[in-house]
Amino acid sequence: MTIHNDVVAAIGNTPLIKLKHASEATGCTILGKAEFMNPGQSVKDRAGKWMILEAEKRGDLKPGGLVVEATAGNTGIGLAVVAAARGYRTLIVIPETQSQEKKDTLRLCGAELVEVPALPFSNPNNYAHVGRRLADELRKTEPNGVLFADQWNNLDNAKAHYESTGPEIWDQTGGKVDGFICAVGTGGTLAGTSRYLKEKNKDIVTACADPHGFAMYEWFKNGVVKSTPGDSITEGIGIGRVTPVIETAKVDDAFLVSDEDAVNTIYDLLQHEGLCLGGSTGVNVAGAVQLAKQLGPGHTIVTILCDSGNRYQSKLYNPEFMRSKNLPVPAWLERRSGIKP
């Protein structure tokens, strides 16, 4: 056991957990990187840590400075955790459709929140554009300066995974890894991890798991930027464009995952393996099963357990919400949630 000097040092070095059901169903060893065990309870703590520490090294952040970011929530929480520990403030622009739990956590972590309507990237009032404009405005008045973290374009986001997630997976498996798969929000996780693993062994099959309604499936499968039909309730993943971060990914293949498959997967993980996780983890594990079936029995595949399910209690784990989306609600969830059918 180690004593960490602060919370920032406690980010990363998460365990790999063997996923029993997914492994048995495929004859492979499917391992989940337990990113929900980070201090801010998600994989985005790593991006928060790297974007702030690298900015410090470049002299782009001064004591008492303000960190501004547009985020579906988890990046904001990661930034707020690191900022609190290192003496910065945070201002977060978030689409109002994101879960109440994430917004409440952000406020508790000390972030100032600006909620905006959920609009497509092509709209000038999309949250990413509002975030950038706000940062530019505030730069004129903030006495200690402003850092716009800019996770879609900031290569420190992918560097976090090139320097931590990738090496950890390699070391933890002793290099015995045949496949790596995860979904894309900004693509930081997939880009940094895939690049590291491919450099270690080019035969490792790297893949993207994409929900319906986004462009990553077609991009990694066929090299075209074209969204698949449909939509998804999964928060934090799904993108319709290729960013500088995504361009650094080294990815061989892609798999489409339906919401029904993703949701059944997280319910299964909770009911049978004691893992209460968010929707993007369902996409990742269901994608890992597809990759395992393609590779055949005997292979080891790693994916990401992105965040904790308590961040989605009012949505994924709320039978009423799930019924309103025409998604499956198992009888045990009705009982456990305390809401009568």
Closer residue to ligand PMP (CB): 62 or 241? 241
DSSP per-residue string spanning 44-101: HHHHHHHHHHHHHHHT---TT-EEEEE-SSHHHHHHHHHHHHHT-EEEEEEETTS-HH
Nearest alpha-carbon partner for 92 in 157, 48, 142: 48
Closer residue to ligand PMP (CB): 75 or 227? 75
The reply on whether position 188 binds ligand PMP by CB under 6 A is yes
Closer residue to ligand PMP (CB): 145 or 244? 244
Name the residue whose CB lies closest to ligand PMP. 236
Task: Please enumerate in sequence order all residues whose Cβ is within 8 A of that of 276, keeping only pairs 6 or more positions apart, or say none.
Answer: 269, 270, 308, 309, 310, 317
Residue among 18, 33, 44, 103 flagged as catalytic: 44
Only one of the segments 76-84, 138-146, 183-191, 211-219 lies at the binding site for ligand PMP (rule: CB under 6 A); that segment is 183-191
Buried b (16+ CB within 10 A) or exposed e, 257-283: bebebbbbbbbbbbeebebbbbbbbbb
User: Is the distance from CB of 22 to CB of 10 less than 8 angstroms?
Assistant: no
Task: Please enumerate in sequence order all residues whose Cβ is within 8 A of that of 145, keeping only pairs 6 or more positions apart, or say none.
Answer: 60, 61, 62, 65, 66, 139
Closer residue to ligand PMP (CB): 263 or 306? 306
Q: Judged by CB under 6 A, which of 40, 187, 282, 319 binds ligand PMP?
A: 187
Subset of 249-308 contacting ligand PMP (CB under 6 A):
278, 280, 306-307
Only one of the segments 186-194, 212-220, 249-257, 295-303 lies at the binding site for ligand PMP (rule: CB under 6 A); that segment is 186-194
User: Is 59 exposed, middle or buried, given 0-12, 13-18 or 19+ CB atoms closer than 10 A?
Assistant: exposed
Q: Judged by CB under 6 A, which of 185, 238, 282, 309 binds ligand PMP?
A: 185
77: left (phi over 0), alpha (psi -120 to 50) or beta: alpha
Tokens of 219: 């991009």
Catalytic site residue 202?
A: no
Only one of the segments 10-18, 22-30, 182-190, 290-298 lies at the binding site for ligand PMP (rule: CB under 6 A); that segment is 182-190
Inter-helix orientation angle 44-58/74-86, to 10°: 50
Q: How far is the CB of 95 from ligand PMP (least distance, A)?
A: 12
Question: What gap in Å lies between CA 256 and CA 96, rounded to an integer?
Answer: 27
Residues 70-109, mask of contacts with ligand PMP (x by CB under 6 A): --x-xx----------------------------------
Q: How far is the CB of 308 from ligand PMP (least distance, A)?
A: 9
Only one of the segments 167-175, 179-187, 204-212, 268-276 lies at the binding site for ligand PMP (rule: CB under 6 A); that segment is 179-187
Q: How far is the CB of 304 from ligand PMP (least distance, A)?
A: 7
Q: Judged by CB under 6 A, which of 237, 269, 288, 329 binds ligand PMP?
A: 237
Only one of the segments 80-88, 109-117, 178-186, 313-321 lies at the binding site for ligand PMP (rule: CB under 6 A); that segment is 178-186
The reply on whether position 206 binds ligand PMP by CB under 6 A is no
Q: Judged by CB under 6 A, which of 41, 126, 186, 300 binds ligand PMP?
A: 186
Nearest alpha-carbon partner for 106 in 140, 132, 70: 70
Closer residue to ligand PMP (CB): 47 or 134? 47
Measured from the Cβ of residue 3, the count of other Cβ atoms closer than 10 Å reads 5
Return the residue matching tokens 């940094």: 192
The reply on whether position 12 binds ligand PMP by CB under 6 A is no
Beta strand 89-95 with 112-116 is parallel
- Residue 17's DSSP bridge partners are 32
Q: Which residues bind ligand PMP (CB under 6 A)?
A: 43-44, 72, 74-75, 183-189, 235-237, 278, 280, 306-307
Active site residues: 44
